[in-house]
Each structure stands twice: as C-alpha cells, then as structure tokens.
A and B are shown apart, each in its own frame.
Chain A
Amino acid sequence: MTNALKDMLENRDWILADGATGTTLFNMGLSSGDAPEMWNVDEPKKIHALYKGAVDAGSDLFLTNTFGGNASRLKLHDAQNRVAELNRAAVEIARDVADTAGRPVIVAGSVGPTGEIMVPMGSLTFDDAVEMFHEQAEALKDGGADILWAETMSSSDEYKAAAKAFALAGMHWCGTMSFDTAGRTMMGVTSADMVDMVNKLENGPLAFGANCGVGASDLLRTVLGFVAQGTETPVIAKGNAGIPKYVDGHIHYDGTPDLMADYAILARDCGATIIGGCCGTTTEHLRSMRNALESQEKGPRPSLERITDALGGFSSASDGTDDDAPKPRVTRRSRRA
C-alpha cells in the first residue's frame, strides 16, 4: 500500500516536522482550561493559521490539533460524545492547508495518551484503551489524515493499544514516547526497551521516537539510545525548545532559534530522520531549523559531550541503558525467586 510518508522517507534524508501546538494556541488566545480540540469547530480559522504557520516555516509534516481527542480526555470537558466530530474537523482543516502548500506536506493525525493508568496498577484495561484509540483513529482517517501519530506516551501497554487500534483502522502510523524521568518515560521505559517493544509489534510504525520530555539534550541522548540498538526503523526527534523558566512573572522557554538549529543538526547526526520541536517551538525556531538542515551536511554521530557542550547538561547522570544506572534493591523473595 502506498503512503505519502513512506514515499517521503524513501526520497529524503531528513524530514522537518512541526513545533508546538499548545504554546501556539495559547498565544492565539486559547484560555487555559479549555480543550484545544474545541477550536477545530469553534475557531477553525485559528487552527488553519496554526497549521499554516508550521507549513510556511518549512515543515514537511505536521500534527493535527487532536492530541486530547480521545473519549477519556474529552470527558473532562463533557465532550466524550464528540470524538468523531472534533477529530474529523481537525483533519479537514489540515487537509486544506497541506493540499494548497505547493509541495508535498503530510498530515499526521495526533493521538495523545488517555491520561488513565492501565491495569494492574490502574483501572484502564487494554481492550478499553484499544476501543478509545480506535474510535479516534477512524475519525482521523475519515477526515483524510495521511498517517496517524501517537505521541507523548509513557506506558508500553498504551503504545501497544494505540498500535492495535491503528491496525484496526487500517492506517500507517508513527509513535513517540516522552522520556522525562531520569532518561526514561514516567513508567520506567528506557530507549532500549522502546526499540525492543517496537520491534515486536505486529503492525509496526513507519517511524518511532521521542517527543517532549525534559530538554533538547536529554532527547538526543534518547535518540542515541535508540540507534545503539541497531534499529532499522526511522527515528523521530521532537524535543522541547529548552526548558521553561519563570522570569518576572512570565514563563518562557530558554531555547533560542539558534539553539534549536544546533539541536536539529545534532539530531540528524545522531541518526534521526524526522526532526521537529515540541513545547515552546515557534515558527521562528522551525525556520531556523530548516535553514540549518538545508545549509549543512550531515556530520558524524556526536558524543554525549558534544551534545551537552552545544545544548546544555542532561537532567540525570544515567538514562537506564548503561551499567551505571542504579539498581533496585534485592529483596529476600526476589533473591529466592
């Protein structure tokens, strides 16, 4: 089956994805507390501007405004019955922007986590997660998405549930996790664990990787972790524009466009193929990233020192993939087992 992203991956050495959705919408006047997905219907011009901003800044691929578009998240706004409507509307606007871009641009239907904790720790079952993701996947497909895109996942089971739902919808997909806790996801998944999980999926992604998390340097350490496993699947790097700082009553991300240009180059040198930003990444950052990727050749794989020199230090000494990672204590039962 032919697919726009498959073609692009075959013909290009790198693909520029988009930047921040939330940050941009807040700057357009979204009040915090409201579901961004409502704007797909209530403020379609602003969503159009959000997408067009990324495309005009050089993005080859952008995600739809549907991150919280599953029934579990929409329920917080009493909109759990509007999954189909809100997702389809988001993709229809995106389709219009992509199809008038004058160059190939890919519409990726964003699917974020349910926000629930899965069994046995929590109450969400695998089948219920699949059902929720499937409902959203069908709507994104109906709207005309080229691919589906799971992001900011922290649980392997939830990532697998999304994969299964996307197979049920018959869609190609990509999927990223957020490595924000000592180099692992909140649920303790390391970069190596993710590669292993992705390799075992029946309906594997076209590309996989990391998004959000802590800073740009942590994200690249994760990318090096993926590559160290010798994966054949293309890798995605979508890092935040630095770290949020509270200055004089305002918040801003400390990553400048120049820093994000360095990040984009280093991400490609690390082995990432699809490169973009996450929180705090504006169109100005994207332009700077595009320029850097176009004007510079791919270099050798950087060392961890090179990454920290360019982008700042890591948030933790180990990311759980080396022998230096601290080990759980040996309990009497685990010793005997």
Chain B
Amino acid sequence: MDEEDDIILSELPDDELTLQMHDDLYDGMKEEIDEGVNILLGRGWAPYRVLTEALVAGMTIVGKDFRDGILFVPEVLLAANAMKSGMSILKPLLAETGAPRVGKMVIGTVKGDIHDIGKNLVGMMMEGAGFEVQDLGINNSVEKYLEALETEEPDILGMSALLTTTMPYMKVVIDTLVEKGMRDDYIVLVGGAPLNEEFGKAIGADAYCRDAAVAVETAKEFMDRKHNQLAAG
C-alpha cells in the first residue's frame, strides 16, 4: 500500500469522515471508530449527532447485509464490538447533554428454555444500534419478567425460545401483561428458530423477529412510532 493512499481520518471533511466511519464499522475496526468519534466530538459535533449519523447509520448498513445473508455472525459481532467501543466514549456525554435515548430493552429466554445464543446476539446487536439492554439470561418465569419491567422501565420486552415446547410460554407472559393492564406499556418482540410471524400474531406480540438484524430494525420502527405518538399526543 502506497503511503499517500493511507486514510488519515483527521484530514477528511465531516461528510467523508462519517462515510469512512460507516465503512470502518462494516470492517469491524474498533480503534478507527474510537478515533473517528473523538475527531467529530473535537469538531464540535453533539454527542447525539455522532451516535446517530456516524454509528447508528453505519450499523444500519451492517444490519441490512446481515438480514440479506451477505454478512454473518462473526462480521456482525466485530462491527458491534467497534460500535460499543465508540459508544462507551459517547455514553457519559450523552447523559450530560440530556440527549434522547434510543430505547431500552429487557430481554430473556423464556421459562423452560436454556438456549441463549440467539438471545445474546439480539442483545449485542441492539447495543450495537445504541439501545440500552438488560439481559435476564435463560429460563425466565413470568414473575421475573414482570419484576424486570418494573425496575428497569424499558420500552421493549424481548422474549426468546428455541424449543417448540417452550415457545407457548411467551403467550403466558403476554396474557399476564394483558390481565394486569400493562400490555400497552411495552413493545413486545419475540424470536427464536421455531417461531414464525403467524405464531407472533397468535400470541399477541407486537412483532416476530426472524433474526437479530430484523429485531433491531423492528425495534427502531416501533420506537419511531412511539416518539411520533408522544409528539402528537
């Protein structure tokens, strides 16, 4: 590689730098992302703008290619790690500036089910997209979900099941939320290998998410709608 061909992030104008950061997220380059975040902050960008225009926009591209079977879990995890690293610089600044939060999710595998890889991937991708994630782990009873909803006050409840014998438990949780009049307080997303859209509808979830990329897209759509409703209301 020619010396002159080196990409010097600090010499790129804002618009090219954000595009380069999208590329660097795609390539999973953590140090370059940290550097880019610091440069943009140094140029006076608001932390929230760095988060949305440089990081979240870049992860959206990664998410789309994951959804379309172009990128796979290893690439996506490297990208999410890079994103998280940039995010850790922004997090304290975001809190100080009172920026709107992207969203918060409580996620866990349902009672009777000990599978966790899919659920962990969703958690990592959601964090990668700027969401705050509280992971309840495996084998969660309805009581554990309810407790977490009360203490964490999330926007989204995510439930995962990998067994055909445990997926019906999702309905138990949703029915309990309905009974307690809490169902409409949360966006409920469900996922797991044996599920499908039909099942998601049948049990009263807001959406079934085929994979982690779709989960992130769906969560963002629902959060946008929620923000619009708040603005309208």
Interface residues of A in 297-333 (CB under 8 A from B): 316, 318, 320, 325-329, 331-333
Interface stretch of the complex, out of A4-12, A113-121, A129-137, A169-177? A113-121
In the assembled complex, B202 has its CB within 8 A of some CB on chain A: yes
Of A186, A251, A328, the residue contacting B165 (CB under 8 A) is A251
A188 touching B73 in the complex, CB below 8 Å, given contacts A251-B167, A328-B65, A336-B5: yes
* Cα(A251)–Cα(B192), bound, Å: 14
B102 touches A (CB below 8 Å): no
In this assembly, does A100 line the interface, its C-beta being within 8 Å of a C-beta of chain B?
Answer: no
B114 at the binding interface (Cβ < 8 Å): yes
Closest A residue by C-beta to B164: A251
Please state if B26 and A35 are interface contacts (CB–CB under 8 Å): no
Chain A neighbourhood of B71, CB < 8 A: 188, 328
Instruction: Give the chain A neighbours of B81 by CB distance below 8 A.
Output: 121
Interface flags for B69-82 (1: CB within 8 Å of A; 0: not) read 11111110110010
| Chain-B contact segment, one of A25-33, A47-55, A88-96, A138-146 | A25-33
Q: Tell me whether B116 and A115 are in contact (CB under 8 A).
A: yes
From B65, B114, B163, B165, give the contact of A35 (CB < 8 A). Answer: B114
Residues of chain B at the chain A interface (Cβ within 8 Å): 1, 5, 7, 20, 23-24, 26-27, 29, 61, 65, 68-75, 77-78, 81, 111-117, 120, 138-139, 163-168, 193-196, 198-199, 202, 211
Return 7 A-B CB contacts under 8 Å, by A number: A22-B163, A154-B73, A244-B164, A325-B69, A328-B26, A333-B24, A334-B27
- A101, CB-defined interface residue at 8 Å: no
What total count of A-B pairs have CB within 8 Å? 105
- For residue B26, give the distance in angstroms from its CB to the closest CB of chain A: 5
Contact status B69-A326, CB under 8 Å: yes
- Contacts A117-B77, A122-B77, A333-B29; is A249 near B168 (CB within 8 Å)? yes
Does A285 make an interface contact (CB < 8 A)? no
The 9 closest A-B pairs by CB, nearest first: A188-B72, A182-B69, A32-B112, A251-B164, A33-B112, A121-B77, A331-B23, A244-B194, A32-B165
- By secondary structure, the A interface counts as loop
Q: With a CB–CB cut-off of 8 A, which chain B residues contact A334? A: 27
A22 cross-chain contacts in B, Cβ below 8 A: 163
Whether B65 pairs with A332 at a CB distance below 8 angstroms is no
| B199–A329 CB distance below 8 A | no
The residue of chain A having its C-beta at the shortest distance from the C-beta of B194 within the complex is A244
Asked if B117 and A329 make an inter-chain contact with CB atoms under 8 angstroms apart, the answer reads no
Q: Are B26 and A251 in contact (CB under 8 A)?
A: no
Chain A, interface size: which category?
Answer: 35 or more
Question: Does the CB pair B202–A33 fall under 8 Å?
Answer: no
Contacts of B72 in A (CB 8 A): 181, 184, 186-188
Q: Is the CB of A32 within 8 A of B194?
A: no
In the complex, the answer to whether B165 meets A26 with C-beta atoms within 8 Å is yes
Are A333 and B193 CB-contacts (below 8 A) given A32-B165, A246-B198? no
Contact B164 A181 (CB under 8 A): no
Q: Residues on A close to B: CB < 8 A?
A: 22, 26, 31-33, 35, 68, 73, 76-77, 115, 117, 120-122, 154, 180-182, 184, 186-188, 244, 246, 249, 251, 316, 318, 320, 325-329, 331-334, 336-337
Interface centre among A31, A32, A333, by most chain B C-beta atoms within 10 angstroms, is A32
A333 to B120, CA, bound (A): 29
Q: Complex formed: what's the CA distance from A154 to B73 in Å?
A: 10
Q: State the CA gap A35–B111 with chains docked (Å).
A: 13
Question: Chain A's nearest CB lies how many Å from the CB of B137?
Answer: 9
The answer to whether B165 and A121 touch across the interface, beta carbons within 8 angstroms, is no
Given contacts A76-B114, A327-B70, A328-B71, contact A337 B77 (CB under 8 A): no
Contact assessment for A121 and B1 in the assembled complex, using a CB-CB cutoff below 8 Å: no
Among A117, A326, A336, contact of B70 (Cβ-Cβ < 8 Å): A326
A26–B168 CA distance with the chains assembled, in angstroms? 14
Nearest residue, chain A, Cβ from B77: A121
CB–CB B138/A76 < 8 A: yes
Residues of chain A lying within 8 A (CB to CB) of residue B74: 121, 187-188
The answer to whether A329 and B65 have CB atoms under 8 Å apart is yes
For A316, list chain B residues within 8 Å (CB).
Answer: 69
Report yes or no: A333 in contact with B117, Cβ–Cβ below 8 A.
Answer: no
Question: Do B166 and A117 touch across chains, with their CB atoms under 8 A apart?
Answer: no
Q: How far is the CA of A122 from the CA of B124 in the complex (A)?
A: 11
